[in-house]
Structure 1
Amino acid sequence: MSENNIKHSGDYFVNLIKSLTGEILKASDQISYDRKIPDQLLKKMTKSGFFRLLVPRKFGGYEIDFIKYLEIISIVSMIDASLAWCLNQNNVLGTLAAFMPEKLALEIWNDPETVLSNGPSVNSAAVILEDGYCLSGRWDFSSGFQHANWLVALATVINPNRTSDEREEIRNMLLRKKDVEIVDTWDVNGLRGTGSFSFIADEVFVDHSKTFIEGAPPLHSGPIYVIPKALMFSSGFATVALGVARSSLNYAIKLANEKTPSKQMMLRDQQSVQREIGKLEATYRSAKAYLDNAVSELWESSLLTGNIEEPFKADLRLSSTNAIRQSVSIVDGSYSLVGSNAIFNFNPIQRKFEDIHAISQQVQGRMEHYDSVGRFFLGMEHKGLF
């Protein structure tokens, strides 16, 4: 299996996802309505390996080039942001295979249909028992929850013997859906298809073998596993945002070449429209170029040295947040150009408008990241998600 996986390069998966774009487009409305990936499309994507792109080859994954990985996310995001979001969320979680005990990784990824989901915790706690932990807490925004078959719950370990100078231990706890209470909170418009449900654990026993420490170095070497998860999430979700922006601007350009508003010239012949298209195009290209350059430099550093210095991390954090914030402006500008028809659900730009504003509210798009990177450039302690 490992030899076969090596043959499946990043280019292989880029070409494969391009062959599925028609099917993804056809399923887009159903993805939004059902708040999940349709079973047939999901089965095809899991069978093809799209949910283990970053999993170590040793465990049946592909460890593809990170730049090629983001190209795949970009292609999908131009068609359906929710599917692209889930694809990024679930693949980044797949890198956990490099950090957990080998026996656990093999158990999880021996199933070709394995997909992981998680979410930020709310008052989670894991009380130490003789051979495991008693886990309680709530985890929200678990993207891809409906198609996931393993849940990752981050929890603070409650250790009565911890001394005041010892840091709190945080562990990843691997759960099944049967172990938790599912809470359907996902009554939203933007990114509706992600089905980002919540789940609750109420004094659930978790065997020690199903846990591992968060923040420990990887047990499996490779350039992908040097990249902090926070930056994989940020660059992936920034790529989703740029895909939504690009497809929105493409739609506005197409419409400008076709539409003549009542008692006006054709949109393309109006100077204000020409100027706005030019400004939006410049905004998109500059944001994408900055992100692409930051990703390229960080990835090259990881490949050549097996290490990523702080300036590369800061640059990727800044370019990711910038890409998300600028994408909002691009979609808003494109939406405005479309006119009154933009508000109808039959118009594809309406969902893109909803999606981009949902993306902007997610942790990777927070304005506070500018503060954190600003402190870094000022030579101060940044305490950011680098």
Structure 2
Amino acid sequence: MTATLSAGSPDLTLPPTPLEVALAAVVERREEFRALGHVPRDVVDLFKAAGVYRAATPRRFGGDALPPAEFLGVVERIATADGSAGWVASFGSAQVYLAALPLETQAELFADGPDLCFAGGLFPIQPATPTERGFLVEGRWKWASGCMGADVLGVGIPGDPSTEGKPRTALLRPDQVEIVQDWDVVGMAGTGSYDVVVRGVEVPRERTFIRGGQPTVDEPLYRYPALAYAAQVLAVVGLGIGRAALDWAREVGGGGTGATGAPKLADRAYFRTAVAEAEARLRGARAFFYEAAEEAYATVLDGDPVTDEQNALLRLSATHAARAGSEAVRAVFDISGTNAIYSDHPLQPLVRDSMVPTQHAFLGPAMYDAAGAVLMGLPATVPAFR
């Protein structure tokens, strides 16, 4: 039976859904994720039971191929519970990349079921020697988020004339890859974005694909811009972290007096004002974000290609959402007093995690310029914009 994802509030009269079970585990174990440096496989299995890793699997292979906005809502809920868990869950969208593989290869990947966890260390692109069957792959790649729980891993290798110079991703089994647990960071410490090392493994050509390449699956989801979707699933993590900070502010605002005997936070005008302003900014960014996703997908369902302007709005709204989430956390931190600087304060993990989405290459300041150029009728000013 297919697990169903829902971004709505739980019905307390019914048994918990698989997603609610997963969320409860995330809340209980998020400090463990940070200490370990990754989300353990048993939690990834809970995400699988909730349908996270079939959300972008083609229907022809038993997946759900969910509309992007629906999946984004689920990642946002998980990220509100913990940023690292949301980041790892976000790669449930990665099957949109795998849709560029030959259908026979996809059938092999999903032979045991649609719940496939894919992780990739795509950069830096490492040279690969062409062979009669494919490519001899060797090298070290960074930022393989979620690799500890992955069923299949991808690494970046150069393209060739047949790919118009675009790089390929080569797929490997976990037993063909060494994971170097070197993830020592301030924010998103639980994502397990470790380095991966491959030593002289021959990868058949049919187990490689162009990231964002032409899909071989003819279903609506795979006509949605893949690179824009990759930016969205990371940006929505920022929205979730911002929501967690504002929820915390509202929860503690009605508490007792401060250490100096000052009025409780909710009785202070500056606190109420800052929370209200941050709430408005976050909700505004969130509305733009989901509106752009829904409009682009409606175009796909109508049988039309997503326009350059729609793609630019997807990228712009994602970049804006990531920034709005980070700014919401900072706004709450700024009004929370001296106690907020202690390392064990509830805001500290949110502050650290909120710094990460805005640092990602897909969500950096250059995206504003690129989106603005397209909206002005000019070419995008950055590569891999569409």
Q: Tell me if TM exceeds 0.5.
A: yes
User: Hey, what's the Cα distance between the residues in 2 that align with 1:45 and 1:269?
Assistant: 41
Cα distance, 1:18 vs structure 2: 3.1
- Verify: 1:209 aligned to 2:206, yes or no: yes
**Residues 319 and 380 (structure 1), Cα distance of their counterparts in 2 relative to 1, 3 Å cut:** same
Q: How do 1:1-12 residues align onto structure 2 when only pairs under 5 Å count? A: 4-5=1-2, 8-11=3-6
Residue 322 of structure 1 is matched in structure 2 by 320
User: Hey, what's the Cα distance between the residues in 2 that align with 1:40 and 1:216?
Assistant: 32
State, as a whole percentage, how many aligned pairs show the same letter: 25
Unaligned runs of 5+ residues in structure 2 are: 10-16
**Residues 205 and 329 (structure 1), Cα distance of their counterparts in 2 relative to 1, 3 Å cut:** same
Which amino acid letter does the alignment assign opposite residue 224 of structure 1? L
**Residues 9 and 209 (structure 1), Cα distance of their counterparts in 2 relative to 1, 3 Å cut:** same
Residue 343 of structure 1 is matched in structure 2 by 341
**Residues 48 and 293 (structure 1), Cα distance of their counterparts in 2 relative to 1, 3 Å cut:** closer
Please give the TM-score of this superposition, normalised by the length of structure 1. 0.90
Which amino acid letter does the alignment assign opposite residue 57 of structure 1? R
1:26-74 Cα offsets, whole Å, 9 max, x none, are 1211122112223433323324432121101222321123221111111
User: Hey, what's the Cα distance between the residues in 2 that align with 1:44 and 1:155?
Assistant: 32
Aligned match for 1:32, one of 34, 55, 76: 34
Q: Does the 8 A contact of 1:122 with 1:137 survive in 2?
A: no
Q: How do 1:302-381 residues align onto structure 2 when only pairs under 5 Å count? A: 302-381=300-379
Cα distance, 1:17 vs structure 2: 1.5
Aligned match for 1:233, one of 204, 227, 230: 230
SS at 2:98's partner residue?
Answer: helix
Q: Does the 8 A contact of 2:53 with 2:93 survive in 1?
A: no
Residue 136 of structure 1 is matched in structure 2 by 138
Q: Does the 8 A contact of 1:125 with 1:156 survive in 2?
A: yes
- Verify: 1:288 aligned to 2:286, yes or no: yes
Q: Does the 8 A contact of 1:27 with 1:38 survive in 2?
A: no
**Residues 155 and 39 (structure 1), Cα distance of their counterparts in 2 relative to 1, 3 Å cut:** closer
Residue 104 of structure 2 is matched in structure 1 by 103
Aligned match for 1:42, one of 41, 44, 48: 44
Cα distance, 1:198 vs structure 2: 1.1
1:60-96 Cα offsets, whole Å, 9 max, x none, are 321123221111111111101111111112x122223
User: Hey, what's the Cα distance between the residues in 2 that align with 1:242 and 1:345?
Assistant: 23
**Residues 300 and 9 (structure 1), Cα distance of their counterparts in 2 relative to 1, 3 Å cut:** farther
Q: Which structure is higher in helix share? A: 1
Structure 1 runs, 4 residues or longer, greater than 6 Å off:
none
User: Hey, what's the Cα distance between the residues in 2 that align with 1:45 and 1:327?
Assistant: 24
User: Hey, what's the Cα distance between the residues in 2 that align with 1:79 and 1:177?
Assistant: 28
User: Hey, what's the Cα distance between the residues in 2 that align with 1:315 and 1:157?
Assistant: 29
Which amino acid letter does the alignment assign opposite residue 350 of structure 2? K
1:259-293 Cα offsets, whole Å, 9 max, x none, are 42214222212121122122111111111111121
Aligned match for 2:171, one of 169, 174, 179: 174
User: Hey, what's the Cα distance between the residues in 1 that align with 2:41 and 2:128?
Assistant: 34
Which amino acid letter does the alignment assign opposite residue 253 of structure 1? R
**Residues 65 and 383 (structure 1), Cα distance of their counterparts in 2 relative to 1, 3 Å cut:** same
Query: What is the RMSD computed on CA atoms of the aligned residues?
Result: 2.3
1:335-354 Cα offsets, whole Å, 9 max, x none, are 12222222334332110111
User: Hey, what's the Cα distance between the residues in 1 that align with 2:151 and 2:339?
Assistant: 40
Cα distance, 1:308 vs structure 2: 0.6
Q: Does the 8 A contact of 1:252 with 1:335 survive in 2?
A: no
SS at 1:130's partner residue?
Answer: coil
Cα distance, 1:169 vs structure 2: 5.2
SS at 1:193's partner residue?
Answer: coil
Please give the TM-score of this superposition, normalised by the length of structure 2. 0.90
SS at 2:355's partner residue?
Answer: helix
**Residues 376 and 213 (structure 1), Cα distance of their counterparts in 2 relative to 1, 3 Å cut:** closer
Cα distance, 1:123 vs structure 2: 3.9
Cα distance, 1:246 vs structure 2: 0.9
Cα distance, 1:9 vs structure 2: 4.8
